[in-house]
A = this chain, B = another copy of it.
Amino acid sequence: MDDDGAAVILGIDPGTALTGYGVVARGRGGAVSLVECGVIRTSPSEPLAKRIREIYDGVMELIRRHRPVAVSVEEVFQGRNAQSALKLGHARGAILLAAAHAGVTIAEYAPAQIKNAVVGTGRATKEQVGFMVQQRLRLREAPSPADAADGVAAALCHAQMGSFPA
């Protein structure tokens, strides 16, 4: 909860190289506003253990700073190969672990659920997601890179689908 009694939600789009995030405040009436969004970037030239530690630390820092009521994480994934799935799992594990260590509720949504909540169709393109995120939060432009917009979309999905005290 922030000072106005709004529920703060941290949405995350997991990735090894780029983990997108969006922090959204949901007012008592359900109105949403953007607090912050961006990406946690790690270098492919670093050892995997260092990269997932950076993701863990980055998520932990966001949780400490924003005190979200929930972390909303995209439930990956579709159609990649086993090697990239394995890598992505490392990143996602670090994110879930940071939320668990911080004692924050974890909500998981399939990509189609997130798209459906934000755009109205589970088959929305990245561009449509960015556009609707921009509209819903009254932003001048869509968050960039697309990973950041996907993190915001995950937060918006939970703002809409999660249960909040009236």
Contact = CB atoms under 8 A, between A and B. Distances in A.
A92 interface: yes
Interface stretch (A2-10, A30-38, A83-91): A83-91
A145 B96 CA distance: 28
A49 B96 contact: yes
B100 A53 contact: yes
A64 B73 CA distance: 31
A47 B99 CA distance: 13
B94 A92 contact: no
Nearest to A98: B97
A82 B77 CA distance: 8
Interface string A25-44: 00000000000000000000
A103 to B, nearest CB: 11
A56 interface: yes
Residue in A47, A86, A94 whose Cβ sees the most chain B Cβ within 10 Å: A86
A49 B53 CA distance: 16
A101 interface: yes
Contacts of A88: 86, 89
A106 interface: yes
29 contacts: A49-B96, A50-B100, A52-B96, A53-B97, A56-B97, A77-B82, A77-B86, A79-B82, A80-B82, A82-B82, A82-B85, A83-B85, A85-B85, A86-B86, A86-B89, A87-B89, A89-B90, A89-B91, A89-B93, A90-B90, A90-B92, A90-B93, A90-B96, A91-B93, A92-B93, A93-B94, A93-B97, A94-B94, A97-B97
Top 5 A-B pairs ranked by shortest CB distance? A89-B89, A93-B93, A90-B93, A85-B85, A82-B85
